[in-house]
Amino acid sequence: MALLGDEAVAMGAIHSGISGTYAYPGTPATEIQEAVQKYVAAFPESKISAAWCINEKVAMEEAVGVSMIGKRALVNMKHVGLNVAADPFMNAAVTGAGGGMVIAVADDPSMHSSQNEQDSRYFADFAHIPCFEPANQQQAYDMTREAFDISEKFSIPVLVRLTTRLSHTRARVNFTEAVAQKPLSIPKDFKGWTLLPSNARPQFEKLIGKQSVFVNYSDNSPFNELVIKSGTRLGVIASGLGYNYFMENFKGSGLECSYLRIGTYPLPAKKIAMLANAVDEILVIEEGYPFIERHLPSYLLKMGKCLPVKGRMDGTLPRTGELNPEKVRAALGMLPLSFTEGCEPDLVRPRPPALCKGCPHCDTYNALNEALADKLRQRVVFADIGCYTLGAYPPYESIHSCLCMGASISMAKSAAECGLKYSVAVIGDSTFDHSGITPLLEGIKRNAPFTTVIVDNSTTAMTGGQETICGEGPLEKLILSMGIDPEHVKVMIPLPQKHEENVAIFKKELEYRGTSVIIARRKCVQIRQ
Ligand code: SF4
C-alpha cells in the first residue's frame, strides 16, 4: 500500500493496538490523526478514540492518562506543538509509561508552514527519552511499531521524529501482523504517577538509570546500521532523510567510504567508536539542527580521538534549511549532476501564499484597515497563527505580528496596559480555543483597554478544515461567562455589503477604554456547503 509518512505512522500505531490517538492539527503532522480518523470511520468496531483535541498540551495529557491505565496511546503534533505540550511531555518522561506511549512529531525544516525549524531530537534528549528517526515510509511504520514495544519494555514514552518531506511523500509500505488493544491495567502503586517532590526524585533517578539501557538498545538496533569498508578515509554518519540523500549519491558512484546510519537515539556509542576507529574524518548528514554533529566531539573525546568533523556547523552543508541530494553531493566532494533542459531546479518560481478569493478575512481586514486609517501612529494589530496571518501581505498589510498560538491577545493586552492607544488582537476561532482563552480571561479580569477580533470561520482552515471545539453560541457564552461587559461583545458578518456597518463597529470598540471582543463570523469558503 502506498502511504504518506504520516499515514505510515498512523497505521503503525493502529496495528500496535492503540486505544486512543490525541492531536491538534498542524502542518506537516495533520495527516497522522486524519488517517486514524478515516480508519475509525471505516472500522468503528476498532473503538479507537481519535477526536481532535483543543491543543497539544491537552493531547499529551490525554495520552498520559491512557498510558497510565495500561493501554496504548499515540499523541501527534507538529514541532512547535511540542513547545505547547512541553510541560506534560517533560514530566511524562519522569512518570514513565504504563501502556505504550508514542509521541510522533513532524518537524518542518525550511519552515514551509511554520515559524521556526526547531529539531525535536533536542526535545527527546532534553527529556532523556529514546527517539526514532525514520528515513522512509516503511521505517515510519516499522519504527512506530517498535516504539510502542520499547515504550512498554522500558516503561518510557518514546518520540518518533518525522520531517516534512517524509510526512508528505508516498511510498509502498508492507504491514506486519496487528496486535489487539491492551486490557485495562490500573497501576498497583501510584507513587510514580504522583510527582510530589518526594516521589519525583526517585523517579528521576530511575530515568537517569535507564540511560545506559537506552544506549545499549541503540547499539544493538538494526535501525543503526554500521558499514565499515577497510582502508577508507571518509566516514559518513547520516540520519533521516539525510541518509537517503547520501545513498542517492553514494550508490554506484565508486565513492570510497564507511558509514553509519542513525535511526534511533540516544546515539549508539559503540558503533560511533567503531566508525571513528576506521576512518580519518567524519561527515555528518542530518536534516534539521546539527544534533549529531554537536554531540560527536564528546564521543570522540572519550576515545581520545581528535578527528575532523564536518557538516552543518563548519559550512560543509548549509546551517539552515532542508537538505537535498545536490547539497549532499557537494558535501561529499562530488561534481554536480548536469540537468537536462527544462528540469532546472529553480524552474518552479516561488509564489507567496494568499487568502482565497471570497475569504471572510478579506472583508474583516478591509473594514479594520478603514477604521484604523487615521490612527496609524497609535495602533498595532497583533495577529496569530492561521490563514488570517496572510493579512500581513499586500493588499491588506493589516497585521504586524505573529509569534505563537494565542500570543496576539497576550501581546495586545500588555501593549495596551503600557500605553498603546489602539491595541488590537486578531485571532481565529480555533486558535482562540487552543490558547486564546486564558489571556482573554486575564485581560477581562483587569479590564485592559484593547480589542480582540475573533475571526470565526467555523473551522481550522489552514490545516484543511478540521472541526473546532467552540462553535457559534458556545463561543459567545464562554466569552460572556468570563465577566466581560456584554455591551462590548459584538458579532459582525464580514461581507462587502456590511462594510460600513462593520467599520462603525470597529471604530466604536477601538475608542472604548476597556476590554472588548468582536466576533467576525462567516464560514471559510472552502468548507461552505
Ligand atoms: S481556506 Fe478559508 S479561511 Fe483560509 S484563506 Fe481560504 S477561505 Fe480564507
The predicted model gives 288-316 an average pLDDT of 96
Ligand 1 atom nearest to 465, measured from its CA: 1
- Dihedral sign for Cα atoms in the order 382, 388, 390, 392: negative
Average pLDDT over residues 336-346: 66
Tell me the pLDDT band of 364, cut-offs 50, 70 and 90: very high
pLDDT of residue 528: 66
d(CA 152, CA 351): 46
The pLDDT of residue 338? 74
- Atom 7 of ligand 1: nearest residue by CA position: 359
Q: What's the CA-to-centroid distance between 526 and ligand 1, angstroms?
A: 6
Residue 479 reports pLDDT greater than 70: yes
What span, in angstroms and rounded, lies between the C-alpha atoms of 430 and 449? 24
* Beta-carbon-side half-sphere exposure of residue 495 (alpha carbons within 13 Å): 9
Q: Sheet containing 257-262: which strands, arranged edge to edge?
A: 225-227, 257-262, 234-239, 281-285, 309-310
CA–CA distances in Å: residue 298 to residues 28, 112, 294: 33, 33, 8
Q: What spacing in Å lies between the alpha carbon of 462 and ligand 1's midpoint?
A: 7
Return the closest-CA partner of residue 436 out of 383, 496, 400.
383
Q: For residue 261, which of 93, 250, 204, 55 has the smallest C-alpha distance?
A: 250
Determine the distance separating the centroid of ligand 1 and the alpha carbon of 169, expressed in angstroms.
24
* CA 465, 110, 281, 307 torsion-angle sign: negative
Q: What is the pLDDT of residue 441?
A: 98
**Predicted pLDDT at 199:** 97
Residue 471 binned pLDDT confidence (cut-offs 50, 70, 90) = confident
Residues 389-435 have pLDDT tens digits of 999 999 999 999 999 999 999 999 999 999 999 999 999 999 999 99
pLDDT at position 508, please?
A: 98
Ligand 1 center from residue 289 Cα (angstroms): 32
pLDDT in tens, 141-185: 999 999 999 999 999 999 999 999 999 999 999 999 999 999 999
Contact call for residues 423 and 44 (beta carbons, < 8 A): no
- Report whether residue 479 contacts ligand 1, using a CB cutoff of 6 Å: no
What ligand 1 atom has the least distance to the C-alpha of 355? 5
Cβ–ligand 1 contact at 86 (below 6 Å):
no
* Interval 113-137 mean pLDDT: 97
* Residue 361 Cα: closest atom of ligand 1: 8
pLDDT tens-digit readout, 37-87? 999 999 999 999 999 999 999 999 999 999 999 999 999 999 999 999 999
Residue 525 CA: which ligand 1 atom is closest? 7
Strand 2-4 versus strand 170-172 pairing type: antiparallel
CA distance 305 to 25: 45
Residue nearest to atom 2 of ligand 1 (CA): 524
Supply the pLDDT for residue 340.
58
Query: Atom 5 in ligand 1: which residue has the minimum CA distance?
Result: 355
**Mean pLDDT in residue range 9-33:** 98
- The whole-angstrom separation of Cα 45 and Cα 368 is 49
Give the Å distance between the CA of 461 and the centre of ligand 1.
Answer: 6
Protein residue with least CA distance to atom 6, ligand 1: 356
Mean predicted lDDT score pLDDT of the chain: 96
Q: Is the CB of 420 under 6 A from ligand 1?
A: no
pLDDT band at residue 343 using 50, 70 and 90 as cut-offs:
low
**Residue 457 C-alpha to ligand 1 middle, in angstroms?**
8
Is there an atom of ligand 1 within 6 Å of 310 CB?
A: no
Determine the Cα–Cα distance for residues 130 and 150; give it in Å rounded to an integer.
Answer: 9
Residue with CA closest to ligand 1 atom 1: 461
What 3-state class would DSSP assign to 262?
Answer: strand
Instruction: Tell the residue nearest (CA) to atom 3 of ligand 1.
Output: 524
Ligand 1 binding pocket includes 361 (Cβ within 6 Å)? yes
pLDDT for 514: 98
**Residue 342 confidence (pLDDT):** 55
> Where does the pLDDT of residue 1 fall: very low under 50, low under 70, confident under 90, or very high at 90 and above?
confident
Pairing of strands 516-521, 131-132: unpaired
- CA-based nearest residue to 396, from 405, 406, 388: 388
> E strands of 192-344, at which residues?
225-227, 234-239, 257-262, 264-265, 281-285, 309-310
* DSSP 8-state symbol, 334: P
Determine what percent of the chain is predicted with pLDDT higher than 90.
93
Long-range contacts made by residues 182-189, C-beta under 8 angstroms, separation at least 24? Answer: 182/17, 182/19, 182/70, 182/71, 182/72, 182/99, 182/100, 183/70, 184/69, 184/70, 184/71, 185/69, 185/70, 185/71, 185/98, 185/99, 186/69, 186/70, 187/68, 187/70, 187/98
Output the pLDDT for position 186: 96
Amino acid at site 270: K
Roughly what angle, to the nearest 10 degrees, separates helices 291-302 and 120-127?
Answer: 50
More confident residue, 348 or 440: 440
Q: What is the pLDDT of residue 467?
A: 87
Provide the pLDDT for residue 170.
97
What are the Cα distances from residue 269, in Å, to 301, 404, 499?
A: 12, 37, 65
Predicted confidence (pLDDT) at residue 341 exceeds the cutoff of 60? no
Tens digit of each residue's pLDDT (9 = 90 or more) over 216-261: 999 999 999 999 999 999 999 999 999 999 999 999 999 999 999 9
Indicate which residue's Cα is closest to atom 8 of ligand 1.
359
Kindly give the distance from the C-alpha atom of residue 126 to the centroid of ligand 1, in angstroms, as a whole number.
Answer: 37
Kindly give, in sequence order, each residue whose CB lies less than 8 Å from that of residue 405, ignoring residues fewer than 6 positions away. Answer: 55, 84, 384, 385, 431, 434, 435
Residue 211 pLDDT > 90: yes
Least reliable range by pLDDT among 17-21, 322-326, 337-341, 511-515: 337-341
pLDDT at 344 over 80: no
Cα 177 to ligand 1 centroid, rounded to whole Å? 41
Please give the distance, rounded to the nearest whole angstrom, from the Cα atom of residue 357 to the centre of ligand 1: 8
Q: In the predicted model, what is the mean pLDDT of residues 447-473?
A: 92
**Does the C-beta of 461 come closer than 6 Å to ligand 1?**
yes
Q: What is the pLDDT of residue 345?
A: 61
CA of residue 459 to ligand 1 center, whole Å: 10
Q: Exposed/middle/buried for 276, CB within 10 Å: 0-12, 13-18, 19+?
A: buried
